[in-house]
Amino acid sequence: MNQPLKQHLIDPEICIRCYTCEMTCPEQAIEHDDLNVVVDAAKCNFCMDCIPVCPTGSIDNWRVVDTPYSLEEQYGWMDLPPQEEVAGDEAGLEALDDAMAALLAEAHKGAGGKSRAPATASKPTINLYTLGKPAEARVTGNYRLTAESSDSDVRHIILDFGGQPFPVLEGQSIGIIPPGTDEAGNPHLPRLYSVSSPRDGERPNFNNLSLTVKREPYGICSNHVCDLKPGDTVRVTGPFGATFLMPSDPAAHLLMICTGTGSAPFRAFTMRRQRENPKLRNSLTLVFGARRPQELPYFGPLGKVPEQFMAKHFAFSRQDGEPKHYVQDRLRAEADRVGELLADPQTHIYVCGLKAMEQGVEEAFKDIARAKGIDWTGLRDRMRDEGRYHVETY
Partner 1 sequence: MLDLINVSYDTQIPNNVGLSQDKKVLKALEKWHPGYINWWNDLIPQNFQESLVYLRTAVSVDPKGWAKFDYVKMPEYRWGVLLAPQVENRTIPCGEHYGQPAWQEVPGEYRNLLKRLIVIQGDTEPASVEQQRLLALTAPSLYDMRNLFQVNVEEGRHLWAMVYLLHKYFGRDGREEADDLLRRQSGSEEAPRMLGAFNEETPDWLSFFMFTYFTDRDGKMQLESLAQSGFDPLSRTCRFMLTEEAHHMFVGETGVGRTIERTCQVMKENGIDDPYDTGRIRDLGVIDLPLIQKKLNLHYTLSLDLFGQEVSTNAANAFNAGIKGRYMESRLSDDHQLQQDTYTVWDFEDGKAVQKQVPALTAINMRLRDDYTKDAAGGVGRWNKIIEKHGVDFELSLPHEAFHRKIGVFADKHFDPSGQPVSGAEYDAGLPKWLPTHADGDFIQSLMKPCYEPGQYARWIAPPKVGIDNRPGDFEYVKLHMA
Stretch of 56-64, 188-196, 305-313, 372-380 lying at the interface with partner 1 (CB under 8 A): 56-64
Stretch of 138-146, 161-169, 334-342, 343-351 lying at the interface with partner 1 (CB under 8 A): 161-169
Total residues at interface with partner 1 (CB under 8 A): 30
Q: What are phi and psi of 231, to 5 degrees?
A: 100, -25
Catalytic residue from among 173, 202, 352, 389:
352
Indicate if 106 belongs to the active site: no
Q: How far apart are CA 22 and CA 30, in angstroms?
A: 5
Any residues with CB less than 8 A from the CB of 139 and at least 6 apart, and which?
157, 158, 159, 160, 228, 229, 230, 231, 232, 233, 234
Any residues with CB less than 8 A from the CB of 373 and at least 6 apart, and which?
none
Site membership for partner 1, residue 49 (CB under 8 A): yes
Site membership for partner 1, residue 14 (CB under 8 A): yes
Question: Which one among 2, 181, 233, 248 touches partner 1, defined by CB under 8 A?
Answer: 248
Closest by alpha carbon to 232, among 131, 158, 154?
158
Site membership for partner 1, residue 163 (CB under 8 A): yes
Task: Tell me which residues in 76-135 interact with partner 1 (CB under 8 A).
Answer: 78, 120, 122-123, 125, 128
Q: How far apart are CA 159 and CA 232, in angstroms?
A: 10
Start-to-end CA distance of the chain, whole Å, equals 29
Any residues with CB less than 8 A from the CB of 157 and at least 6 apart, and which?
139, 141, 142, 210, 211, 212, 213, 225, 226, 228
Site membership for partner 1, residue 165 (CB under 8 A): yes
Indicate if 394 belongs to the active site: yes
The answer to whether the CB of 154 falls within 8 A of the CB of 213 is yes
Site membership for partner 1, residue 294 (CB under 8 A): no
Site membership for partner 1, residue 57 (CB under 8 A): yes
User: Which residues are the active-site residues?
Assistant: 193-194, 352, 392, 394
**Binding interface with partner 1 (CB under 8 A):** 13-14, 16-18, 20, 23-24, 34, 48-50, 52-53, 55-58, 60, 78, 120, 122-123, 125, 128, 163-165, 205, 248
